[in-house]
Amino acid sequence: MTDTPEPPGRGDAPIYLDNNATTPVDPRVVQAMLPFLTDCFGNPSSAHAYAREPRTALARAREQIAALVGADPREVVLTGSGSEANNLALRGAVLASAAGRRRVITQVTEHPAVLETCRALHRLHGVDVTCLPVDGEGLVDPADLAATLDERTAVVSVMAANNETGTLQPVAELARLAHDHGALFHCDAAQAAGKVPVDVRALGADLLTVVGHKMYAPKGVAALRVRAGVRLEPLVHGGGQEGGLRAGTENVALAVALGAAAELAAAELAEGGARRVEALRDRLHRSLTEALPGRVRLNGSVVHRLPGTLNVSVEGTTGHDLLAAVPQLAASTGSACHSGTHTPSPVLRAIGLDDPRALAAVRLSPGRWTTPADVDRAAGILAGAARSLATAGRAGAGSAAP
């Protein structure tokens, strides 16, 4: 991998610790896609010379994406988002399945792109949906899946890593159980791909979602790995692009961007990038716990989690108030898809947190350009704000009328 360039938007910008929500676009990715926004504008389906470079670029992008997840390039279906890829996987698998298979199994802490698709399948097509519980670390118990599977199950969908807590699921074991009952297995790897090793064959995932803006590509592009031989009903009908699964002229520039991002991520993983980010995460956690003794509690799994996800609750605060007090820092109180709300996160409730602890949670996710100085400064800023909020809260309680 070439030397990592300077990150976009540094200067006086807030410290960015929200890479689970979205990542900045890597300048190398921008350079790779620019020609396909200017000179290389041809339709890859055309027969003339202007189509040649776009068509070659699409093929190269599929190779790069496939290499990141251990797939065959012919299995890569380009989509406009992870939500679209998840919809294609679930809706496509159920509607193309045998008549007797009208059941989907997922789990309670899945992303809304999966949960809402399952609800729509139930509402519109009468599909049975089962949501498995998770334990206090956010993990699915394979025994629960084994007890739930039957011959009516069309597809099981369990994410590789949770977007709020970073919890890594036992995907390979879950997929094996699904296959034992003739069901397909879908894995939303939006948060995992490019951050930890992901291999579709080792995992046993027939369908796997990869998302560009979670790994330093622009928003608006994703991919679904569809194992050879798996039949899906298309979401979009038309000209037959993407193997007939997604009609519409391909966005070559974004496909190139996703391919370049996938290649950079694979190289970074090989060079120990995950260990570097994990060290930053642990440094941040350690600094916070030392600065706020007895007040910082980790949410999710201690061991089975992404290297770049730290979800903690700080006693005496709410996540919303804490982050509102630190404009020098960009982070999240939970899933970006729920930002703006002040109700406890369903994910944190599902792992057994009471409402005060769930409302006190903040998610801090370092990434490619986070430095040790960033996490040290962030810890100091957060600790100072937490102390101020706790003091104000005690003062307010003391002055309240009896």
Q: Are strands 361-364 and 222-226 parallel, antiparallel or unpaired?
A: unpaired
pLDDT at 398 over 80: no
**Is residue 118 within 8 Å of 136, Cβ to Cβ?**
no
Identify the three-state secondary structure at position 313: strand
**Average confidence (pLDDT) over 102-123:** 97
pTM score > 0.75 for this model? Answer: yes
Query: Could you give the domains of the chain?
Result: 15-23+271-394 (3.90.1150.10), 27-269 (3.40.640.10)
- Predicted confidence (pLDDT) per residue in 238-251, tens digit: 999 999 999 999 99
Confidence at residue 68, expressed as pLDDT on a 0 to 100 scale: 98
Flag whether pLDDT at 338 surpasses 50. no
pLDDT at residue 334 is higher than 80? no
pLDDT for residue 99: 85
CB within 8 Å of 349: residues ≥ 6 apart: 355, 358
What is the band of 336 on the pLDDT scale with cuts at 50, 70, 90? very low
Answer positive or negative: Cα dihedral of 204, 209, 214, 217.
Answer: positive
Of residues 108 and 9, which shows the higher confidence score? 108
Q: How confident is the model at residue 10 (pLDDT cuts 50, 70, 90)?
A: low
Helices 52-69/252-270 angle, 10° precision: 30
- pLDDT cut 70: percent of the chain above it: 93
224 confidence band (pLDDT: 50, 70, 90): very high
Report the catalytic residues.
Answer: 337
Angstrom CA distances, 187 to 209, 224, 271, stand at 6, 10, 25
Instruction: Give yes or no for residue 174 having a pLDDT over 70.
Output: yes
For residue 232, what pLDDT is reported?
98
* Residue 314 and residue 296 in contact, taking contact as beta carbons nearer than 8 Å: yes
pLDDT, residue 399, reads 55
Q: What is the pLDDT of residue 12?
A: 78
Average pLDDT, the chain: 94
Bridge partners of 185?
A: 156
